[in-house]
């Protein structure tokens, strides 16, 4: 009985100390709060955007390319649409992209990686070699190719990026599995007759949860970078969708005179990715894990 | 023996990549030939082109013909420029390579002092600031930072050109690297011209590696500071400058070397947007165009070359790591 | 400070900052070393003896450590307050051999490279510019190399010229220790600081290395500061010894006297704990080392002291002289002239 209490006590202390450490890291707090704000804004977009119809195909040529002012806080784009409203809707798209990409990557990559690491032998070779093939093509290139292959639109670009992203989750899960499976508690479970599935998903997986969490946070940012890049290159969202990368691509034509259509969406991307990185970095320190 | 095995494996991966890309670019809806030939093309010429390119044959036959073509040094005709992809790549690859190498060089040159100073002044304002900069460096959407750099240096300050590789005539082609060629031929105006054109895109491309390398060097230097041999040198009065920049840096830098090697392939991906923004005539820009216009030969060709570059670079870096750290060699 | 004092440390107090608070690792430590004298600092692991030495050598990492108060005099100058160039110059007169020879030589440089750096730097009068220029002169390098060979030969290192070309990982532990000793002695130091230099070696090499150190110190009439937990070594080696416990000095005096007739209860306990061949029951000291975060009030040893009195938990005793060179910090003893 006392052992249990002691364990809980030690754990509580550990968490408290960790939280103190985290809160001292002001940067990650800033990142976390910005993200929270961004998510909130994205969810509430339809209600708080000043010109919600501008997020879609509305066209108001009479107010095209107006600089930031009181009525249009961030100015208007080449079709007269309010940039602020479009930014808010763009947040929904990018955050949704992060969720879709990471979900695909996680649920495909992690089980494959665990299997490869756990079973070893032929399974290992086959899975990891396929992962290697995918890894030797830079993310943007492959995502671009897949997106085009599926016929370029926003949803397909999300799937394409997810298709590319599984490889790094697979790698990570593989490496972690290799080191975790040496641990004694795994060996004892095996000798007690636990099924492979049980060991893999109820014993090995929870032990890499902190590493996976850090990776998910950091990768969310990078996934958004790739997603907006793909849209910028024309293989993702198509007009009039209010996607950040697309907005920059179209605003580009009006540089340097109208700088706001390109500046603000890019700034939004930057701020969002930075927040993910700040938070992820803080989490990385908090958990003491090593993830690149 | 081990070396051969890895070489073989490398080739296997490349073959895998070629198959993947091959299938991928042929799974497209719509008819790329029709699109490429334009509005006025009639059914007959479209069919003729398809036959010429063997597009109506089963996919594995197409693949074998493709491989056969490779052995002859051909990568199939590109629909973007109507000549063999291999030629196009030969023309454009040096531009991309020059850009990537310039960006990595810039990143390393800037990262070393930043990393060393950060480590020496740990936990001070300078250090936190540098860490923040590192995180910022990797968060930029490169197409956007490219545009902002163009805006700032090209228009507002107006002292850097913002598109293209060179304005005047290029130097005589020896290595195809404008910087080297112009120096070799003592063509200083061309050197300067090429340099200023390289500045902006190389800078944008160097931001992310700069951030990562700085962090790496900082972390390694901090590890070094607690090493016994450093303490011995300090205790016996060796000057801090020698200790930091000779004794610590030497040990801190070599693990960074391999990371740097691995970054080079990653840069290829980023080059896709940077070349686009700066109108840099490299294979990344060509590749982006090829992929988005369904030019399958172009797309497969470029991707293949890039993956080969990635795989080969990783291979070399892995081997190099074994050389630099004898313990790795022994463990193998 | 009298003429022949090489080292004088006064009221040194050091804290270690951690997340949970400040660890008060060293409190009011005083010690001194005279010319030609070998002084030992003994105590169990964690008593602060290494930290003390590291403060003197200037290799304590100062975040997280913080020197709260105290003065550290070497050859008459306070190492804690003088500007770095002067400090570095003084440090050239300090020889240091650390505990573990394995990590003490930079693995990516050859022995020759390391030694030549040291020798050439000493010829450069604290100027980086001069140093860099000299490094490029083949004449100077050759001179430095010869000097290095001489120094290595003095320590009976066979074939010194080829050793110069070797890398640290090619040498055995004992050989590394000798090279370190050679490097330490190469600058005509005034004092040798040895931090448990033989614990990482096997028994026979230990003995040989100790003999060698002793021989060289006598030859060069070197003063010494010897940190150890081994009382036997202290007896063989050190003229005077300080006993530390929980970050404070509890007793000091001529080594032989101290170990034969210990005064402080802790020293008594230490001496009694040495297993003897004559079959006396083996006794240890009850309890554990103090919690540095919240050290016991008063005398830090009092919770474990068999002779404790109420005053021990209230006020910390200061060091009093109890005859000749002996000093004790314990309420059981009063100042005697």
Which of A263-272, B268-277, B308-317 is predicted with the least confidence, judged by mean pLDDT? Answer: B308-317
Alpha helices in chain C (DSSP H): 49-57, 84-91, 111-122, 128-135, 138-154, 160-165, 173-185, 203-220, 231-237, 255-260, 265-273
Is the CB of B239 inside 8 Å of chain C's CB atoms? Answer: yes
Which of A54-68, A252-266, B197-211, C87-101 is predicted with the least confidence, judged by mean pLDDT? Answer: A54-68
Q: Do A129 and B272 touch (CB under 8 A)?
A: no
* B330: pLDDT strictly greater than 70: no
- Give the closest of B122, B225, B236 to C118, CB-based: B236
Chain B residue with CA closest to C95: the answer is B236
Which of A163-172, B150-159, C41-50, C186-195 is predicted with the least confidence, judged by mean pLDDT? Answer: B150-159
Q: How confident is the model at residue A66 (pLDDT cuts 50, 70, 90)?
A: confident
Question: A106 CB contacts (<8 Å, ≥6 apart)?
Answer: A169, A212, A216
- Convert the pLDDT of each residue in C23-72 to its tens digit: 888 888 888 888 888 899 988 877 888 888 888 888 887 777 888 888 88
Percent of chain A with pLDDT over 70: 90
Chain B residue with CA closest to C97: the answer is B232
CATH number of A14-39+86-287: 1.10.3720.10
- Convert the pLDDT of each residue in C162-217 to its tens digit: 888 888 888 888 888 888 888 888 878 888 888 887 776 777 777 787 788 888 88
C82 and C26 in a common domain: yes
- Give the closest of A145, A233, A259 to B303, CB-based: A145
Query: For A50, what's the count of Cα atoms within 13 Å in the CB-facing half-sphere?
Result: 12
Chain B closest-CA separation from residue A9 CA (Å):
31
C216 and C72 in a common domain: yes
- Give the closest of B16, B28, B131 to A149, CB-based: B28
Q: C82: how many CB neighbours lie within 10 A of its CB?
A: 14
Which of A207-216, C128-137, C282-291 is predicted with the least confidence, judged by mean pLDDT? Answer: C282-291
Chain C closest-CA separation from residue A4 CA (Å):
24
Dihedral through CA C154, CA C159, CA C162, CA C163, nearest 10?
-50
Which of A260-264, B63-67, B274-278, C107-111 is predicted with the least confidence, judged by mean pLDDT? Answer: B63-67
The mean pLDDT value for B253-275 works out to 83
* Distance (Å, whole) CA B324 – CA B266: 23
Residue written as token pair 């320190």: A285
Chain A closest-CA separation from residue B181 CA (Å):
29
* Distance (Å, whole) CA A212 – CA A199: 18
Q: Do A136 and B132 touch (CB under 8 A)?
A: no
C209 and C234 in a common domain: yes
Chain C residue with CA closest to B251: the answer is C108
C285 and C144 in a common domain: no
Chain C residue with CA closest to A24: the answer is C19
Give chain A's mean pLDDT. 82
C116 and C45 in a common domain: no
pTM over 0.90: no
What is the distance, to the nearest Å, from the Cα of residue B258 to the centroid of all Cα atoms in its chain?
15
Can you give the pLDDT at residue C241?
92
Q: Do A269 and B144 touch (CB under 8 A)?
A: yes
* A124: pLDDT strictly greater than 80: yes
* A251: pLDDT strictly greater than 60: yes
C131 and C82 in a common domain: no
B 88-127 residues with CB below 8 A of C? 122-123
Q: Do B287 and A259 touch (CB under 8 A)?
A: no
- What Å distances lie between residue C40 and A85, A153, C74, CA to CA? 76, 78, 17
* Distance (Å, whole) CA C249 – CA C264: 11
* A149: pLDDT strictly greater than 80: no
C64 and C104 in a common domain: no
C196 and C157 in a common domain: no
Chain A closest-CA separation from residue C34 CA (Å):
47
C324 and C211 in a common domain: yes
Between A195 and A229, the more confident residue is A229
Chain B residue with CA closest to C126: the answer is B239
Can you give the pLDDT at residue A108?
92
Q: Do A221 and B139 touch (CB under 8 A)?
A: yes
- Convert the pLDDT of each residue in A88-121 to its tens digit: 888 989 999 999 999 999 999 999 998 888 888 8
* B160: pLDDT strictly greater than 80: no
The domain limits of chain A are 14-39+86-287
Q: Which residues of C fall within a CB distance of 8 Å from A17?
A: 19-20
Q: For B92-331, which CATH class?
A: mainly alpha
- Give the closest of A133, A229, A273 to B20, CB-based: A133
Q: Do A229 and B141 touch (CB under 8 A)?
A: yes
* B41: pLDDT strictly greater than 70: no
User: ipTM value of the model?
Assistant: 0.80
Can you give the pLDDT at residue A46?
80
Can you give the pLDDT at residue A239?
80
Nearest to B15 by CA among A148, A129, A142, A168: A129
Chain A residue with CA closest to C20: the answer is A17
Can you give the pLDDT at residue C21?
79
Chain B residue with CA closest to C185: the answer is B236
Q: How confident is the model at residue C1 (pLDDT cuts 50, 70, 90)?
A: very low
What is the DSSP secondary-structure string of C66-97? EEEEEEEEETTEETTTS-HHHHHHHHTTEEEE
Q: Which residues of A fall within a CB distance of 8 Å from B8?
A: none
Between A247 and A23, the more confident residue is A247
Q: How confident is the model at residue C280 (pLDDT cuts 50, 70, 90)?
A: low
Can you give the pLDDT at residue A126?
87
Chain B closest-CA separation from residue A4 CA (Å):
37
Between B74 and A188, the more confident residue is A188
Can you give the pLDDT at residue B331?
43
* B326: pLDDT strictly greater than 60: no
In what helix (H) or strand (E) does residue C41 lie, and over which residues does it extend?
Answer: strand C38-42
Can you give the pLDDT at residue B40?
62
Residue written as token pair 């763009």: A90
Alpha helices in chain B (DSSP H): 2-26, 32-37, 43-52, 59-71, 85-120, 125-137, 142-149, 178-184, 188-225, 228-235, 240-242, 249-278, 283-292, 296-324, 326-331
Question: B331 CB contacts (<8 Å, ≥6 apart)?
Answer: none
Q: Do C187 and B250 touch (CB under 8 A)?
A: no
Per DSSP, what are the bridge partners of residue C32?
Answer: C8
Domain boundary among C144, C163, C188: C188
Which of A87-91, B293-297, B326-330, C126-130: highest mean pLDDT?
A87-91
* Distance (Å, whole) CA A268 – CA A85: 12
In what helix (H) or strand (E) does residue A100 lie, and over which residues does it extend?
Answer: helix A83-119
Percent of chain C with pLDDT over 90: 2
Q: B168: how many CB neighbours lie within 10 A of its CB?
A: 11
* B279: pLDDT strictly greater than 70: yes
Is the CB of C63 inside 8 Å of chain A's CB atoms? Answer: no
Chain A closest-CA separation from residue B184 CA (Å):
33
* B149: pLDDT strictly greater than 80: yes
Q: Do B306 and A225 touch (CB under 8 A)?
A: no
Q: Which residues of A fall within a CB distance of 8 Å from B292?
A: 144, 148, 152, 233-235
Residues of chain B with CATH 1.10.3720.10: 92-331
Chains that touch C (3 or more CB pairs under 8 A): A, B
Q: Which residues of B fall within a CB distance of 8 Å from C96?
A: 232, 235-236
C329 and C270 in a common domain: yes
Q: Which residues of B fall within a CB distance of 8 Å from A132?
A: 13, 16
Can you give the pLDDT at residue A272?
92
Query: How many residues are given for chain C?
Result: 337
Q: Which residues of A fall within a CB distance of 8 Å from C20?
A: 17
Chain A residue with CA closest to B276: the answer is A233
Chain C residue with CA closest to A17: the answer is C19
C56 and C105 in a common domain: no
Query: How many residues are given for chain A?
Result: 292
Can you give the pLDDT at residue B85?
79
Is the CB of C128 inside 8 Å of chain A's CB atoms? Answer: no
A 209-248 residues with CB below 8 A of B? 221, 225, 228-229, 232-235, 245, 248
- Give the closest of C88, C96, C184 to B239, CB-based: C88
C169 and C83 in a common domain: no
* Distance (Å, whole) CA C270 – CA C284: 8
- Convert the pLDDT of each residue in B11-20 to its tens digit: 888 888 888 8
Domain boundary among C188, C208, C242: C188
* B325: pLDDT strictly greater than 70: no
Which residues form the domain of C196? Answer: 5-93+189-336
Q: How confident is the model at residue C277 (pLDDT cuts 50, 70, 90)?
A: low
* Distance (Å, whole) CA B298 – CA A272: 34
Give chain C's mean pLDDT. 83
């Amino acid at each position: 009985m006392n052992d249990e209490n002691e364990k809980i006590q030690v754990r509580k202390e550990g968490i408290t100390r960790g939280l103190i450490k985290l809160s001292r890291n002001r940067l990650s707090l800033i990142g976390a709060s910005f993200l929270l704000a961004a998510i909130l804004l994205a969810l509430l977009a339809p209600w708080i955007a000043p010109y919600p119809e501008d997020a879609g195909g509305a066209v108001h040529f009479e107010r095209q390319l107006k600089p930031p002012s009181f009525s249009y806080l961030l100015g208007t784009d080449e079709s007269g649409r309010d940039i602020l409203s479009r930014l808010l809707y763009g947040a929904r798209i990018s955050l949704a992209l992060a969720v879709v990409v990471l979900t695909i990557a996680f649920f495909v990559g992690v089980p494959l990686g665990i299997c490869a690491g756990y079973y070893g032998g032929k399974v290992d070779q086959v899975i990891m070699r396929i992962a290697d093939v995918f890894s030797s093509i830079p993310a943007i290139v492959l995502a671009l190719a897949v997106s085009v292959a599926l016929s370029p639109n926003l949803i397909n670009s999300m799937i394409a990026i997810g298709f590319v992203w599984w490889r790094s989750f697979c790698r990570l899960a593989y490496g972690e599995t290799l080191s975790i499976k040496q641990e004694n508690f795994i060996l004892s479970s095996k000798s007690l007759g636990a099924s492979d599935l049980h060991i893999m998903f109820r014993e090995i997986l929870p032990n890499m949860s902190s590493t996976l969490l850090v990776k998910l946070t950091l990768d969310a940012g990078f996934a958004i970078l790739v997603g907006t890049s793909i849209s910028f290159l024309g293989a993702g969202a198509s007009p009039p969708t209010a996607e950040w990368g697309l907005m920059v691509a179209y605003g580009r034509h009006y540089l340097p005179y109208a700088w706001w259509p390109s500046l603000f969406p890019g700034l939004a991307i930057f701020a969002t990715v930075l927040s993910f990185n700040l938070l992820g970095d803080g989490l990385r320190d908090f958990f003491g894990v090593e993830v690149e | 023996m081990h070396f051969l095995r890895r070489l073989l494996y490398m080739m296997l991966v490349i073959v895998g990549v070629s198959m993947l890309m091959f299938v991928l670019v042929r799974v497209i809806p719509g008819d790329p030939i029709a699109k490429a030939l334009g509005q006025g093309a009639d059914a007959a010429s479209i069919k003729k082109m398809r036959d010429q390119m063997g597009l109506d044959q089963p996919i594995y036959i197409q693949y074998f013909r493709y491989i056969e073509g490779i052995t002859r040094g051909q990568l199939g005709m590109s629909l973007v420029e109507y000549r063999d992809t291999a030629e196009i790549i030969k023309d454009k690859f040096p531009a991309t390579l020059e850009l990537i190498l310039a960006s990595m060089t810039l990143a390393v040159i800037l990262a070393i002092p930043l990393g060393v100073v950060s480590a020496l002044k740990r936990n001070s304002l300078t250090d936190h600031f540098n860490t923040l900069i590192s995180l910022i460096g990797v968060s930029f959407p490169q197409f956007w930072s490219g545009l902002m750099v163009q805006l700032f240096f090209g228009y507002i300050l107006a002292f850097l050109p913002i598109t293209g590789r060179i304005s005047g005539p290029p130097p005589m082609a020896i290595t195809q690297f404008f910087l080297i060629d112009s120096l070799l031929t003592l063509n200083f105006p061309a050197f300067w011209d090429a340099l200023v054109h390289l500045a902006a895109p190389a800078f944008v491309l160097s931001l992310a590696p700069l951030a990562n390398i700085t962090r790496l060097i900082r972390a390694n230097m901090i590890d070094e500071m607690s090493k016994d041999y450093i303490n011995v040198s300090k205790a016996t009065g060796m000057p801090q400058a020698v200790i930091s920049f000779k004794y610590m840096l030497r040990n801190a830098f070599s693990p960074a070397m391999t990371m740097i090697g691995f970054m080079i392939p990653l840069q290829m991906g980023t080059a896709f947007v940077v070349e686009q923004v700066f109108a840099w005539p490299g294979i990344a820009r060509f590749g982006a165009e090829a992929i988005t216009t369904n030019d399958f030969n172009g797309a497969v060709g470029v991707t293949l070359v890039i993956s080969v570059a990635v795989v080969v670079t990783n291979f070399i870096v892995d081997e190099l790591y074994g050389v630099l750290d004898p313990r790795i060699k022994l463990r193998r | 400070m009298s003429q022949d004092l090489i080292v004088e440390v006064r009221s040194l107090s050091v804290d270690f900052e951690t997340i949970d608070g400040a660890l008060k690792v060293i409190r009011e430590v005083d010690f001194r070393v005279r010319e030609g004298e070998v002084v030992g600092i003994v105590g169990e692991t964690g008593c602060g003896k290494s930290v003390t030495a590291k403060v003197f050598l200037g290799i304590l990492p100062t975040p997280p450590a913080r020197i709260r108060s105290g003065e550290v005099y070497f050859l008459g100058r306070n190492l804690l307050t003088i500007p770095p160039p002067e400090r570095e110059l003084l440090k050239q007169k300090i020889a240091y051999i650390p505990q573990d020879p394995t990590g003490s030589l930079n693995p990516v440089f050859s022995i020759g490279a390391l030694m030549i750096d040291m020798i050439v730097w000493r010829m450069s009068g604290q100027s980086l510019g001069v140093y860099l220029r000299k490094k490029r002169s083949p004449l100077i390098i050759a001179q430095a190399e010869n000097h290095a060979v001489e120094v290595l030969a003095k320590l009976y290192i066979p074939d010194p010229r080829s050793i110069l070309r070797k890398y640290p990982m090619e040498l055995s532990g004992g050989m590394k220790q000798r090279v370190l000793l050679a490097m330490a002695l190469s600058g005509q130091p005034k004092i040798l600081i040895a931090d448990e230099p033989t614990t990482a070696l096997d028994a026979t090499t230990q003995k040989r290395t100790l003999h060698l150190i002793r021989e060289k110190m006598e030859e060069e009439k070197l003063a010494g500061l010897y940190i150890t937990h081994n009382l036997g070594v202290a007896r063989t080696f050190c003229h005077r010894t300080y006993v530390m416990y929980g970050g404070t000095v509890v007793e000091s005096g001529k080594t032989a006297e101290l170990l034969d007739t210990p005064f402080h209860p802790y020293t008594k306990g230490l001496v009694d704990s040495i297993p003897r061949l004559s079959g006396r029951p083996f006794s240890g000291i009850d309890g554990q080392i103090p919690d540095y975060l919240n050290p016991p009030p008063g005398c830090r040893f009092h919770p474990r002291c068999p002779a404790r009195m109420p005053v021990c938990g209230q006020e910390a005793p200061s060091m009093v002289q109890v005859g000749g060179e002996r000093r004790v910090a314990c309420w059981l003893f009063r100042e005697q002239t």
